[in-house]
Chain A
Amino acid sequence: MKRLLALTLLLILLAPAAFAVEPSERLADPALEARARALSEELRCLVCQNETIDESSAPLAHDLRVLLRQRIAAGDSDAQAVKFLTDRYGDFVLLKPPVEPATYVLWFGPIAVLLLAAGGALIYLRRRKAAAPAAPLSAAEQRRIERLLQEDG
């Protein structure tokens, strides 16, 4: 029973590793195919928008995989092959948005917020340290403390 459960679990965990890339789509040259695979994992399927074209079984994803492989087989560099798609579908096809003025907030926003918070914390801590230390106890207070401590003992 336990073994069956473990096997089921293993199969479930392995399931997402199944690819939509069909054997007929693959390029004969393993090096080129590896490049195509790497690129298609970074490209968004326009139909099912949270999947890569590598994973998606949508017909358009199939077309784009084939097209990408055609470009690569024709001697395009990785950048040229990706540009072929961004020329048509825009930066939206890139799962990793490029760093450019329109995406500065996206890329640098979190760091800016972190710096802002760190700055605030620093100012707060400095100020707390700079606050005047408490005045020393007067002679009468000192005597009272000693008396209380003795009473306890």
Chain B
Amino acid sequence: MRRLLFLLPVAVFVAIAVYFLLALNPNRDPQLVPSALIDKPAPEFDLAGIGTAPGLALAAFKGQVAIVNFFASWCEPCKDEHPLLMGLQKQVGAPLYGIAYKDKPADTEHFLTELGDPYKAIGVDENGRTAIDFGVYGVPETYVIDKEGRIRQRFVGPLSERDIAQELLPLVRQLQQS
């Protein structure tokens, strides 16, 4: 028993060292904000479309797994992400909807005619209120919504090929089967 007591400081040291090791993991981003809405119903919204195009409302994707991407024409990382979004609907087999965050509809339109329009439909969120309801704190952000309209996953920042192949695709498949 005495002997074990002497090992106590060693045990405390090991516990702290393991904690530091986890915290220093280079793949962990300490600035990443965990979503408060995972597994909760997606917030209601009903947004106008660009010009005469139809808008986007939450009701539009009830009953199917959907991917929602917040973007803006003024956002540089969105441009980086854009080529990956172009083939995403086909690759993943789920509709991709866009929400234009704090962007003038004319600028969004220009952005999409120049780079291509990867979205099935787009909602204009000019004052950013819908984004706040989703807990967005910077564009781009991407959400996966299940058949029952619950948010299942959130990607902060531009999607990478790795994100799509290792997280998005398996998740969408799994949700579509359930």
What residues of chain A have their CB less than 8 Å away from a CB belonging to chain B? 46-47, 49, 59-60, 63-64, 67, 86-92
Q: Which residue of A lies closest to B137 (CB)?
A: A46
- Is the pair A89, B135 in contact by a Cβ cutoff of 8 Å? yes
**18 other A-B residue contacts (CB within 8 Å) besides A47-B138, A88-B133:** A47-B137, A59-B102, A59-B128, A60-B128, A60-B132, A60-B137, A63-B127, A63-B128, A86-B36, A88-B36, A88-B132, A88-B134, A88-B135, A89-B36, A90-B33, A90-B34, A90-B135, A91-B36
- Is the pair A46, B33 in contact by a Cβ cutoff of 8 Å? yes
B34: chain A residues at CB < 8 Å are 90, 92
Most interface-central of A49, A86, A89, A91 (chain B CB within 10 A): A89
- Is the pair A90, B132 in contact by a Cβ cutoff of 8 Å? no
The 17 listed contacts between A and B (C-beta, < 8 Å) are A46-B137, A47-B138, A49-B31, A59-B102, A59-B128, A63-B127, A63-B128, A63-B129, A63-B132, A64-B132, A67-B132, A88-B37, A88-B134, A88-B135, A89-B33, A89-B36, A92-B36
Query: Among the listed A67, A89, A91, which residue makes an inter-chain contact with B137, where contact means beta carbons less than 8 Å apart?
Result: A89
Chain B: number of interface residues, binned into ranges: 10 to 19
Q: Flag whether B35 is at the interface (Cβ < 8 A).
A: yes
- B112-129 residues with Cβ-Cβ distance < 8 A to A are 127-129
A46: chain B residues at CB < 8 Å are 33, 137-138
CA distance A63 to B138 in the complex (A): 13
Q: Which residue of A lies closest to B134 (CB)?
A: A88
A67: chain B residues at CB < 8 Å are 132
Q: Which residue of B lies closest to A92 (CB)?
A: B33
B133: chain A residues at CB < 8 Å are 88
Interface residues of chain B: helix, strand, loop or mixed (majority)? loop
CA distance A103 to B135 in the complex (A): 22
Ranked nearest first, the 3 interchain pairs of A and B with the lowest CB-CB distance are A90-B36, A46-B137, A88-B135
B132: chain A residues at CB < 8 Å are 60, 63-64, 67, 88
B35: chain A residues at CB < 8 Å are 90
Most interface-central of B33, B35, B134 (chain A CB within 10 A): B33
A88: chain B residues at CB < 8 Å are 36-37, 132-135
A89: chain B residues at CB < 8 Å are 33, 36, 135, 137
B33: chain A residues at CB < 8 Å are 46, 89-90, 92
Most interface-central of A47, A86, A87 (chain B CB within 10 A): A87
Q: Which residue of A lies closest to B133 (CB)?
A: A88
B138: chain A residues at CB < 8 Å are 46-47, 60
CA distance A46 to B134 in the complex (A): 13
Contact with A along B129-147 (1 / 0, CB 8 A): 1001111011000000000
CA distance A67 to B135 in the complex (A): 13
CA distance A92 to B134 in the complex (A): 14
Q: Which residue of A lies closest to B102 (CB)?
A: A59
